[in-house]
Structures are given as structure tokens and as C-alpha cells.
Chain A
């Protein structure tokens, strides 16, 4: 709690050795606070943190735990010294021999591809290089657990790409347990073995990233993992795991176990919607077809984003080639198809 507000409320969270857990959520969800508490920099107002079965201590007694973990903040927070000295700073705190320090520093500089910056002042490097230095500094002390707060924020796309790869490799090689806070789901998906979705201080869902991706537990989580279509509907018929739901005047087949007459939310990924024409192959096997009017068409990098009104708003991402999409215009009526298995249902 901070200033009377409950910033974080997590009844139970377990992290296993060797895992890379990502914590995703919007700004202000409490991700940074969670990291600070796990790394013992902050004390929880209530409750305890355990490490390897024993509760962690704070202050002087907490030094033992503090030296087995490392946290990297969003800002690089480097010292006014050379890159080498910065990376070595964590090691110098432990009073290691000069040669040992040198070895570990050079190893980690190489790991993050910044060996050539060793003698450079930390004031004269780019944002991406600073971020790498900060990560190298944390890895150099060979922690058992690593906490990273938004490690890829504010980097340009190519830098991000290479850093995600380098960091992923470094984590796998060393077998370190890591907890990464980020607001970007693609980073989370790529790096982590387990994902936790947070909002307003609570963990809404935790588990395998793929699973959450396909089966979000709530509307919020669904929205956060990229399911842009959340459609209120109600169950007309339910039989052995097969459902007929009705939304906006259309009846659709779907899968799930919900009582008839109940209200639900349909979660549909834009990329699963198909815009079809009578000549689209395999059309006779399609179960769910409904029609709508194109509201807006936006060409993106590899797909075309189409906003449709079917009685309810819908967003579709179509991979159809340009000569097809060119014929679509706002105001046109189109048919949309969706396989029953691609409709994920959440109870209301």
C-alpha cells in the first residue's frame, strides 16, 4: 500500500527455478512495484516473500538475499564512469579480485555486444547501448534471479530486435530465473515460459503464454492479448459442448460449456475472420457466415485492416492480395466467416 492506496494485491505467486516469467499489463498496473517487492528493495505492507522456502529479510540481514538477485530498472541508471567500470560496479561491491572482475566484465560485455565500448564514458553512448550496459552490469554478478523492468522500452525497432535475441540467448545459456515486466505482449510471448497478466495491482491470469493467448480468462485479458473483437451475446442452445449463440441478430455456432440463456462475451481475433465472396474456395464447408457493411479500410504493412458493422462492430485483418482488397470500399456489403473453434467465449 502506498499513500493509503492499495497498489498491489497478490494473494499468491510462485516462481520456479529456471523459469522466465513475464508480467504484462498497462501502465500503473503495479508491475514495477511487484518487481521491487520480489527483489526486496521494497517491503510489502502485508504478507511475505519467500526465497527457496525461507522468508527473505530486509536491511542488514537482507544482504544475503540481495546479493543473489539483481534488478534492472527501466532507466539505465549508469554511473558517471566508463562502461567497463559500470559493468564492474556490482562486482566491486562484493570485493572480488581484480582479475576475476575483469574476466566477468569482459564476458558480459561480449554477451551483449558492447565490448568495443569498454573504455567509453557512460555519458557518450546511445540509449540502446546504455540499456545493454545496464543489463551486462546485472548479469555480471551472476545472480540466481533477475528482475527486469521494461528492458525493451523506448528502443528503436532494430535495436529492440537484436536486444531481445541477445537477452533471450543470455538467459537460456545461464539458466537464470527471470521475471520481466513489460507492456508489450509480443516481447512477453517471445521470451517467457510463463506469463502473468496484471491490472490495478492484481494478477488476472497466469500461465503458458500460448494458452492465455488463445483462452483469455476475462475481457480485459482478452483485450490485452490482442483480441480486438469482444461481442456481447447470449446462449440460445447448449448441447454437449456445442453452443449456438446469438449476437446482433446473427446466430453462430461455437464450442464451450455454458448454460442456455446465459449472457457471454465472444472473443474473436481479427486475423481469424475471413472476408469471403461466393467464389472463395471451400465456402460450402463454412458454418458461420454473416454479413456486414464496410465502415473503414486501412492498408497496413502486410495485411489490410477492415472495420465492419454487422449489427455490432467488427475488426478484421485480411491477408487477401491487393487486387482483391482494392475492390473493397466503405459502404460495400461483405460476407464474413469464422470457424466455431476460433470463437473464444467468456462468461459475463
Chain B
């Protein structure tokens, strides 16, 4: 129990003194997970909407894959990405193993199905004829899709938050493809794991607390945007 209190005290201390090591770790966490979420948002919202509005042979199989992908174990993603991007793998020439780029890649693979799946459900939940009605008012296909996306904005923001939540907190893939290199690929989650294995529980707890604070702040901002979309 005193370990917990010690952890909280350490968290405050680190935050207030603006510990440089901590700053690097937090900033890198935000950069990596933020970029991955942004890319997933673009991929996810466009694929989810496309899947929702079209029909083609094999669509159901694809939807099934997306829904399964939402629950992909991050560690499995880490193993697969590692095998592809290590020096002697098919993508080895990129030389991105043990770089933040590899972490962004792995996290995007984890987050994209989440955003896609929730977007798919959100667009399908809109009234069936809304798309046709928008077209019948003289919209181009692009305009119609944009209006649908806007109409579903509450759910789509939830999708983005779900994607972000999934990757800011994941550690299995990040540690495998990033290598947890100090000052280079060490993020909040991987640092916490390392400190735990070293037995520095108070530090691990403080990192965990700071991680939750960061996640809460981001989600706070996103929630404000989302709830502003509610009509009066």
C-alpha cells in the first residue's frame, strides 16, 4: 500500500520538476501513439464508410476480418511486424526495426481495425435512406459521404478515442519492434515494464499514473469536441 503512495508522490515529483528523461518519454509516447491514431483515423474512417455503403461478393468475410482485427493481440502484431522489418526480412531494406517508425507501424496495425469496425457500425446505424436522400438533393458522391460522416460524428470520435486508447496503453508490440532504447524508442509503457522488471515498483507506478493522466487529458479534449457535436 505504501508502494502506491510512494508511486503517487514520485509521479508528482517527476511532473513538477519537469524531469527531462520523463519529458522525452512522454513526448515520444504522444508522438508515436498520436501519429498512429491519426493514420488509423484516415484509413479507418474511409474504409469503414466504404464498407458500410457498398456491397460486393466477399463483403461479409471482409467485415468479419475487420471485427476480428479489433481484438488482435498486440504481441502477435509485434511478432509479425518484427519478422517483416528485420534486416533479413522482406522489408528489411527500410531499416526501421528498433525505430519509432516501426512502433508507429505496429500501433497503426493495432488501431486501424478498431477505428474501421466502429466506423462501419456507426455508418450502418444511420437511417437507411439518408445516403439516398443526400444524393437526391444534388450532392456528389464525395459530398454525400462527407455529410454522412458528419452526421455520425459522435460515434466516429468514439472510434478515434477507442483507437487511441488501444495504442497509448499497449506495450507488447512497442517493446518488440522498438527495443525500448533509452531516449530513442522508450515510451511510458515500455519504461514502466522495464522498471517493474528491475524491481523499481514506485517508479513503475508513477509512470503508470502519468500515463493515465496523459490519456485522460487527450480524451478530455476529444470528448469536449465530441459532445460539442450534440445539439442543444
Tell whether any CB of A sits under 8 Å from a CB of B in the complex. Answer: yes
**B-contacting residues of A (Cβ < 8 Å)?**
36, 39, 41, 59-60, 63, 66-67, 69-73, 75, 77, 79-82, 89-90, 93-94, 121-124, 137-138, 141, 147
B contact residues around A77 at 8 Å (CB): 127, 129-130, 133
Within the complex, the shortest CB–CB distance from B133 to chain A, in Å, comes to 4
The answer to whether the Cβ of B61 comes within 8 Å of any Cβ in the partner chain is no
On whether the beta carbons of A71 and B133 are closer than 8 Å, the reply is yes
On whether the beta carbons of B137 and A75 are closer than 8 Å, the reply is no
The answer to whether the Cβ of B231 comes within 8 Å of any Cβ in the partner chain is yes
On whether the beta carbons of B137 and A80 are closer than 8 Å, the reply is no
The answer to whether the Cβ of B232 comes within 8 Å of any Cβ in the partner chain is yes
Interface string of B216-232 (1 = CB under 8 A from A): 00000000000001011
The answer to whether the Cβ of B143 comes within 8 Å of any Cβ in the partner chain is yes
* Inter-chain pairs besides A80-B231, A122-B231, 5 sampled, C-beta below 8 Å: A39-B136, A67-B138, A73-B129, A80-B229, A141-B137
State which of B133, B139, B141 has its C-beta within 8 Å of the C-beta of A73: B133
On whether the beta carbons of A93 and B136 are closer than 8 Å, the reply is no
On whether the beta carbons of A79 and B151 are closer than 8 Å, the reply is yes
On whether the beta carbons of B140 and A41 are closer than 8 Å, the reply is no
State which of A60, A70, A79, A81 has its C-beta within 8 Å of the C-beta of B136: A70
The answer to whether the Cβ of B147 comes within 8 Å of any Cβ in the partner chain is yes
A contact residues around B229 at 8 Å (CB): 80
The answer to whether the Cβ of B1 comes within 8 Å of any Cβ in the partner chain is no
Q: How many Å lie between the Cα of A71 and that of B138 in the bound state?
A: 9
Q: How many Å lie between the Cα of A121 and that of B147 in the bound state?
A: 17
Contact A69:B136 (CB < 8 A) given known A77-B127, A79-B147, A79-B151: yes
The answer to whether the Cβ of B135 comes within 8 Å of any Cβ in the partner chain is yes
Q: How many Å lie between the Cα of A92 and that of B132 in the bound state?
A: 17
A contact residues around B137 at 8 Å (CB): 70-71, 89-90, 93, 137-138, 141
Q: How many Å lie between the Cα of A67 and that of B143 in the bound state?
A: 13
On whether the beta carbons of B147 and A89 are closer than 8 Å, the reply is yes
On whether the beta carbons of B139 and A93 are closer than 8 Å, the reply is yes
B contact residues around A82 at 8 Å (CB): 231
**A-contacting residues of B (Cβ < 8 Å)?**
127, 129-130, 132-133, 135-141, 143, 147, 150-151, 229, 231-232
A contact residues around B143 at 8 Å (CB): 93
A contact residues around B127 at 8 Å (CB): 75, 77
On whether the beta carbons of B138 and A75 are closer than 8 Å, the reply is no
On whether the beta carbons of A66 and B151 are closer than 8 Å, the reply is no
B contact residues around A90 at 8 Å (CB): 137-138
Look across to chain A and name the residue whose beta carbon is closest to the beta carbon of B148: A79
On whether the beta carbons of B138 and A121 are closer than 8 Å, the reply is no
Q: How many Å lie between the Cα of A123 and that of B230 in the bound state?
A: 10
A-B contact pairs, 13 of them (CB 8 A): A41-B132, A41-B136, A60-B140, A70-B137, A70-B138, A71-B133, A71-B137, A72-B133, A75-B129, A138-B137, A141-B137, A141-B138, A147-B136
Q: How many Å lie between the Cα of A80 and that of B147 in the bound state?
A: 11
B contact residues around A72 at 8 Å (CB): 133
Q: How many Å lie between the Cα of A89 and that of B137 in the bound state?
A: 9
B contact residues around A59 at 8 Å (CB): 141
A contact residues around B141 at 8 Å (CB): 59-60
Look across to chain A and name the residue whose beta carbon is closest to the beta carbon of B231: A121
Within the complex, the shortest CB–CB distance from B85 to chain A, in Å, comes to 40
State which of A36, A93, A122, A138 has its C-beta within 8 Å of the C-beta of B132: A36
Look across to chain B and name the residue whose beta carbon is closest to the beta carbon of A35: B136
Q: How many Å lie between the Cα of A81 and that of B147 in the bound state?
A: 12
Q: How many Å lie between the Cα of A141 and that of B138 in the bound state?
A: 9
B contact residues around A36 at 8 Å (CB): 132
Q: How many Å lie between the Cα of A41 and that of B134 in the bound state?
A: 10
On whether the beta carbons of B138 and A63 are closer than 8 Å, the reply is yes
Look across to chain B and name the residue whose beta carbon is closest to the beta carbon of A95: B143
A contact residues around B151 at 8 Å (CB): 79-80
On whether the beta carbons of B132 and A94 are closer than 8 Å, the reply is no
State which of B138, B231, B232 has its C-beta within 8 Å of the C-beta of A93: B138
Within the complex, the shortest CB–CB distance from B39 to chain A, in Å, comes to 28
Q: How many Å lie between the Cα of A153 and that of B141 in the bound state?
A: 29
Look across to chain A and name the residue whose beta carbon is closest to the beta carbon of B146: A93
A contact residues around B231 at 8 Å (CB): 80-82, 121-124
A contact residues around B135 at 8 Å (CB): 41, 66
Within the complex, the shortest CB–CB distance from A34 to chain B, in Å, comes to 14
Q: How many Å lie between the Cα of A234 and that of B92 in the bound state?
A: 92
Q: How many Å lie between the Cα of A75 and that of B131 in the bound state?
A: 13
B contact residues around A121 at 8 Å (CB): 231-232
Q: How many Å lie between the Cα of A285 and that of B138 in the bound state?
A: 62
Within the complex, the shortest CB–CB distance from B141 to chain A, in Å, comes to 7
Look across to chain B and name the residue whose beta carbon is closest to the beta carbon of A59: B141
Look across to chain A and name the residue whose beta carbon is closest to the beta carbon of B229: A80
